[in-house]
Structure 1
């Protein structure tokens, strides 16, 4: 196995310990974070097959061991939630970079992935934007359409706009191309119309 394969295997084995289970329609229940990692990797292969190893590691381990920080009763005040989410990101970022270091990656690459997981990357290669796009695409493909079936579009639409406004035009176009729900297509088209020039001209890393 390659170092990349070793790292992804370790991440998967760790996330397989998530006690929370998810059961997508028509499938058996699996650990929630394991499923999320698989989905991010799947969308990465579909949308950005040339993404480098650092992106592939970051998306697979983005929420590594996040269940360790879940509140026992599932509730917390707004400030408490924000602090907890920050602690989750810190923990996942540190764990992933430790796994990388133990499998031959140098300090520079570990730092890049750590910043990507934290969402603090200032890297101009396009990795940070690609992470933003992959998260948005996973949300659209696996969650947003189901939400539109539950909530009226006039209620959910503004939330979707806010959640997906960080995506690039390329990713939004890809989502429209892959989506059949007319309300979702309309929402994504509206986001594209208001997108900044910077997001229209995004260039990803060419690996």
Structure 2
């Protein structure tokens, strides 16, 4: 099996999982399974931001939220510790499920382990692939999800979220974020957070 077909097969398996999302999102005049739309946006942003991405980074970007609805936020305490625990459990789940799908199409144990490390964000700021994944995540958040966050949180909380997001990004990621086409409201929030 060629590497290209192996990659296409695992991406199709990830898409099949995400297309089962019972949660829908409206975009471009059509309803999408929420996490499938997210994965399409992640892959599109990765192709633009890191066109030379390794096969494993491409898989990690597509699988970042694989079957995310499976572990509900409501199953954890609604505080900072509960949020962190939920995010860690999700990362573990995403890594395990993606590794399982990779095994089906012939990826090695080492490649599966690398995906788990990527999805758990091990070595952020030290591993260039983990950093690239984090940059793509932050770019997709700012471009597609920040405006919705703005309707549900106080300005103070939003400015904090933007600053934390900015702090996770590399200089290249930050430069790419400044080139995004954002609504005037979101642009103003980002400007205020960074001033």
Fold shared, TM-score > 0.5 on shorter chain: yes
Residue by residue over 1:138-173, the C-alpha shift from the partner in whole angstroms, topping out at 9 and shown as x without a partner, is 011102245457767555223210222110111111
Answer whether contact 2:134 2:169 (CA < 8 A) is retained: yes
Residue number among 87, 101, 104 corresponding to 1:102 in the alignment: 104
Give the Cα–Cα distance (whole angstroms) in 1 for the partners of residues 193 and 110 of structure 2: 36
In the alignment of these two chains, the number of paired residues is 188
Give the Cα–Cα distance (whole angstroms) in 2 for the partners of residues 63 and 50 of structure 1: 22
| Deviation of 1:62 (Å) | 1.5
Matches within 5 A, 1:39-188: 39-70=41-72, 76-78=77-79, 79-121=81-123, 126-148=128-150, 153=155, 156-180=158-182, 181=184, 182-184=187-189, 186-187=191-192
| Deviation of 1:187 (Å) | 4.4
Distance 1:123 1:54, change over 3 A: farther
TM-score for the superposition, normalised by structure 1: 0.79
| RMSD value, Cα | 2.6
Residue number among 20, 24, 28 corresponding to 1:21 in the alignment: 24
Runs of 4+ displaced beyond 3 Å = 73-77, 79-82, 121-125, 145-155, 179-182, 187-190
Answer whether contact 1:176 1:188 (CA < 8 A) is retained: no
Answer whether contact 1:37 1:61 (CA < 8 A) is retained: yes
| Deviation of 1:101 (Å) | 1.9
Give the Cα–Cα distance (whole angstroms) in 2 for the partners of residues 77 and 151 of structure 1: 15
Question: Which structure shows the higher helix fraction?
Answer: 2
Residues 1:5 and 2:8 aligned together: yes
Answer whether contact 1:145 1:184 (CA < 8 A) is retained: no
